[in-house]
A = this chain, B = another copy of it.
């Protein structure tokens, strides 16, 4: 196989890419129209038939679950990047969370985490709950790392994380991608402010575009 051929996506990769696109569009539908939206709504929005949709998902529950998994995957990857780029606990959290928010309100339209929570049951619900617990535990450890390395003021890690997650999730309620602010601007401005709350040496001036 030449290097060009290997750079092209194979059939499985194409199917996976299509499935991802469906999930992201569905997440947008669920978060704008509520988790009461039907598979028909999603199919209509995608401009495909319901039959075509069924090639990729088994049911609405399945699709909702996939949206949540995708959101948790975005969270995980964002924190990976935050941990790779940040030099201190504070930087890791700030970079990771800004990245997460940017991805959520950029690519996915608006965060889907709140809306669908009650719509999942059984193993699907407990799976998502466990992923969230893992995510929150990871965040708390970063706060503790920051306290140890001196970048974060001694603080209750749970309260600090709840404050951050609140700021992030509330974005569903007020952000519109059609509004004046880009996802980038909102993510930077919001996370600069929220993490400054527990910075050991808070900057005297805010740097994010929306604050200037």
**A195 contacts which chain B residues (CB < 8 A)?**
197
Known: A196-B198, A202-B196. A211 touches B163 (CB 8 A): no
Cβ of A42 within 8 Å of any chain B Cβ, yes or no, is: no
Cβ of A206 within 8 Å of any chain B Cβ, yes or no, is: yes
Within 8 A of B (CB), among A160-175: 160, 162-163, 165-171, 173-174
Cβ of A204 within 8 Å of any chain B Cβ, yes or no, is: yes
State A199–B195 Cα separation when bound (angstroms).
12
Q: What's the least CB distance linking A124 to chain B, in Å? A: 19
State A212–B159 Cα separation when bound (angstroms).
12
Cβ of A72 within 8 Å of any chain B Cβ, yes or no, is: no
Pull 9 A–B residue pairs with CB atoms less than 8 Å apart, ordered by A.
A154-B206, A160-B193, A162-B171, A166-B166, A166-B168, A166-B170, A167-B170, A169-B170, A170-B170
**A189 contacts which chain B residues (CB < 8 A)?**
156, 159
User: How many residues on chain A are close to B (CB under 8 Å)?
Assistant: 36
Partner of A211, one of B118, B155, B190: B155
Q: How many copies of the polypeptide does the oligomer hold? A: 2
State A16–B167 Cα separation when bound (angstroms).
36
Known: A193-B163, A206-B154. A118 touches B34 (CB 8 A): yes
Cβ of A129 within 8 Å of any chain B Cβ, yes or no, is: no
State A168–B169 Cα separation when bound (angstroms).
11
Known: A156-B211, A197-B196. A171 touches B166 (CB 8 A): yes
Known: A162-B174, A170-B162, A171-B162. A205 touches B156 (CB 8 A): no
State A187–B209 Cα separation when bound (angstroms).
30
Cβ of A210 within 8 Å of any chain B Cβ, yes or no, is: yes
Q: What's the least CB distance linking A198 to chain B, in Å? A: 6
**Nearest-CB residue, chain B, relative to A156:** B210
Cβ of A194 within 8 Å of any chain B Cβ, yes or no, is: yes
